Amino acid sequence: MMNPPLPRPIRVLVVDDSAFMRHAVARVLSDAPDVEVVGSAADGEAGLRLARTLRPDVVTLDVEMPVLDGLGMLRRLMSETPTRTIMLSSLTTSGAAVTLDALDAGAIDFVAKPSGSLSIDIGRVGEELLLKIRTAAAMPEAAFLAHRQRTAPRIAPRPGGEAGTAGTRSPAAAKTAGAAAPSSPRVAARRLVAIASSTGGPGALQAVISALPARLGCAVIIVQHMPAGFTASLATRLADSGALPVSEAAGGDIVGEDRVLVAPGGQHLITSVGGRVQLIGLPPVNGVRPAADVTLRALAPIWRERLLTVVLTGMGTDGRDGAATVKEHGGTVFVQNEATATVYGMPRAVAEAGLADRILPLNRIAAAITEWAAESAGAKASA
């Protein structure tokens, strides 16, 4: 009997201006039996030419490059030869801002280089890079098409300059930089919404937060899987996208009504009984920190029926065990549906465990949150 043919390996194009980094990334990827590096390029223009010729399954793309930088290449790639892309980003404030620009422009995910642009220790994040390449390659074609359609309005060149100019501050950052910081709340909210997300999360969060009203009647906590530094940039962008003030959480912050707090990368977030934020440096859970399961398990016994959990796009199962605890204490759970999720991992885990009260398309989630907040306030008033 003939053995069945082996599955075709994932074909990857590596684009980085550093010859050392191209070699190091290729070496890390070539050690995996299911990945084949089919080419490499030193700048965005060469990367575009190879992408058209080789038609790789996934591109790994550096941000800072000559001739045409990573963001400029990504925007043209998504317009001309749409390809699943993972960004390689530096762990800096400017690197975080440009990385979020890249996610806006259609990148599936990113991996932070452990020690700057020239990371001789890139092997430290090799498993993370491989996992994200596999996740991107496994996206159904319909999901990738929907992802492209959501990001298409954001890939056009920006007024006043070439699209994708690295180091240019985003409109969100520019607008927020001049705004006065809102005063800190003195009293904790009566109701709380906890949103969990991972791969595809920044775009999904922007869609949800931008559609929430200024008078929501509850507090919002976001747990997005991101390294330290990136969550501050995410909070800045979310603050610019809608009516609610958004900030990166700090220890001692009060979970206030009509405010959004983003759990900082590298720390788990919980709250005290009185509604004050506590940040803890325990080891990663589910391979991530912050982890939604840590936050939800801590919040559920405190907030009980006053807690709504929303699980958005992301790979893995983080949020499932926490959602179970939320349900045990009388809380409510919504999840994003498969058709609108970039990666239907986290929401699937919750839905298949029978924990979801509602399974919703992304464009219905903000309205459902608003309805829940109003109904919860009404129930409290009539009690």
CA separation for the pair 181, 178 (Å, rounded): 9
CA separation for the pair 208, 128 (Å, rounded): 27
Q: Which helix (H) or strand (E) holds 48?
A: helix 44-54
CA separation for the pair 165, 169 (Å, rounded): 9
Cis peptide bond upstream of 290, omega within 30: yes
- Of the residues 69, 225, 253, 258, only one is catalytic, namely 225
CA separation for the pair 285, 321 (Å, rounded): 11
Residue pair 224/198 in contact by the 8 Å Cβ criterion: yes
Tokens of 314: 């992301």
Closest CA to 98 of 230, 201, 207: 230
Closest CA to 59 of 92, 87, 34, 80: 87
- What sign has the CA pseudo-torsion 288, 294, 295, 296? positive
Q: Which helix (H) or strand (E) holds 351?
A: helix 346-352
**Helix axes of 93-104 and 70-80: crossing angle, nearest 10 degrees:** 10
* Residue 272 known to be catalytic: no
Look at the chain and count its residues.
383
First to last CA, the chain: 71
* Residue 258 known to be catalytic: no
- Residue 206: strand, helix, or coil: helix
- Of the residues 101, 104, 318, 321, only one is catalytic, namely 318
Q: Which residue has tokens 């206030």?
A: 256
CA dihedral 25, 125, 11, 64 (to 10 degrees): -60
- Of the residues 197, 198, 233, 247, only one is catalytic, namely 198
* Residue 23 known to be catalytic: no
> Residue 125: left if φ>0, alpha if ψ -120 to 50, beta else—which one?
alpha
Q: Provide the annotated active-site residues.
A: 198, 225, 318
